[in-house]
Chain A
Amino acid sequence: MSEQEIREGMLLAVWDEPPLDFDPDTLIKRVEQKKSRRRALVGVGVATAVIAVASFALPGLLPRDRGGQLASEGQTTSSTAPSEPAEKKAQRIGDKLAEKLALTMTNFKEVYAALRPNGFSYPPNLTSTAPRKPSDPELSGYVFLTDHIGPTSLRVQGMKGQFSTKDFCSSAVVCRNVQQNDGTTVIEAEFNEGGTEIARSEVVRQFPSGYYVTISSHNYNPASSSGLRQTVPVRVEVLTTLVTDPSIDWE
């Protein structure tokens, strides 16, 4: 069998080929459909991958434990809640005292108060970080004023504990108890500290609960331990007016 015979044989083998029903447009349409199917499949695959990745990644991005977060928020609120009203209460009492003093002593200028819960360290605007002792006052501060001599202040303290009138009055020039209608007791005392003039005027209001408030006036500025003067700027009558002001809720 020669190569020529093979060549002729192959040509003869296709002589009875069936008619060709080929349409390029149909083929192009099939290819386009195949392409769109492939794109859709890729789209679905990408979407699935994105969802899968997101489902793994999102828990790391979102807050881990909503319950824990709420719990911690609650703790924060509960820890700060008691201090917030105490600060506000001290501020409110100070404002009232300054207002009352300004109304009572109209010759005073620049009357303002700085009261805060717990002990008031010197200088008054310094924030104390020392731990609170049982003997520390629950409320303390100063009511600042400026009279014809110059700037000075009244000391204010509120605390719970045993108060001895006897001890308090032992060195006083004048000391008297004034029973109030609301059940509280006001002790008024004035001291000359060995001098001829009153060096300290002080009133104490005792509450039945054991809480007592002290307002004192000195012949110096107790806020700065300076500004010595001949006598006190405010006498006990005015101090009693302040400590018994019904608009002030001391407890």
Chain B
Amino acid sequence: MRKADEQGFREFAAANAASLRRTAYLFCGDWHTAEDLMQSSLMKMYMAWKRIKDLDNLIAYARKVLLRTWLDEKRRPWRRAEQRDGELPDAADATVDPDTTSAKLWARELVHTALLQVPPRQRAVLVLRYFEDLSVAEVAVAMGCTEGTVKSQTARGLATLRTIVEKLDSSSGRVAS
């Protein structure tokens, strides 16, 4: 690869790595896996950089690659899922505002518990629509499906998520809004 192209990829990767990792985290619910997915996606893009470097919306292409990489990873029968038997307690942070802490914890529980119970493709639609703030058309391009499928998957995903959150709220005493 030419030095100029390599430099172009280097700049793109450095600018979008964090964003891609966050999206990957919402897909898989684990920061380490998210980093692996992000790096795998960027490696694929590097190998195809000569062909894709002139695309209009490179970040949309990167999201598409990330989504495919994650779905491929989930489909592999020999995939090694990490066996978790608990989480280490976080150390207390004195600088944190107690009012926002409960909201953040609830949000984390939303991802770790509720969102991960939503089927993968519905979860992907929800993340792209509400986290990446993409339009239905853009999600359809990223998912490689029709806009109607995106809408139906969004509706089903929201319904599934609401059901799970209601269950979580009723068990934890929080009132679902």
Contacts and interface: CB of A to CB of B under 8 A. Distances in A.
Given A3-B158, A24-B10, A31-B46, A17 B31 contact: yes
B28 interface: no
Contacts of A28: 6, 9-10, 46
Interface stretch (B14-22, B56-64, B72-80, B138-146): B14-22
A14 interface: yes
B151 interface: no
Interface stretch (A5-13, A67-75, A223-231): A5-13
A13 B42 CA distance: 23
B115 to A, nearest CB: 8
B4 interface: no
Nearest to B32: A18
Q: Indicate the size class of the contact surface on chain B.
A: 35 or more
B42 A27 contact: yes
Given A12-B107, A24-B14, A31-B46, A6 B21 contact: no
A56 interface: no
Interface string B118-145: 0000000011001101000000000000
Nearest to B106: A9
Given A1-B177, A10-B111, A18 B130 contact: no
Interface residues of A, number: 27
A9 B10 contact: no
A77 B174 CA distance: 109
Interface string A34-66: 110000000000000000000000000000000
Nearest to B107: A12
Contact of B17 (A2, A6, A15, A22): A22
B131 A10 contact: yes
A6 B126 contact: yes
Contact of A14 (B9, B22, B46, B176): B22
Contacts of A10: 26, 107, 110-111, 115, 127, 130-131
A31 B10 contact: no
A28 B2 CA distance: 13
Interface string A14-34: 111110101011011011001
A8 B107 CA distance: 8
A34 B115 CA distance: 35
Contact of A17 (B22, B43, B106, B176): B22
Interface string B73-113: 00000000000000000000000000000011011101100
Contact of A13 (B14, B108, B162): B108
Interface in B11-63: 13-14, 17-18, 21-22, 25-26, 31, 35, 38-39, 42-43, 46-47
B145 to A, nearest CB: 20
Contact of B18 (A5, A11, A20, A30): A20
A219 B9 CA distance: 112
B165 interface: yes
Nearest to A21: B35
B9 A24 contact: yes
Given A10-B110, A20-B35, A27-B13, 20 more contacts: A1-B166, A7-B131, A8-B107, A9-B107, A10-B115, A10-B131, A12-B108, A13-B107, A15-B104, A16-B108, A18-B31, A20-B21, A22-B14, A22-B18, A22-B21, A22-B35, A24-B9, A24-B14, A27-B43, A27-B46
14 contacts: A9-B106, A9-B110, A10-B110, A10-B127, A10-B130, A12-B104, A12-B106, A14-B25, A15-B107, A20-B17, A22-B17, A22-B38, A27-B39, A31-B47
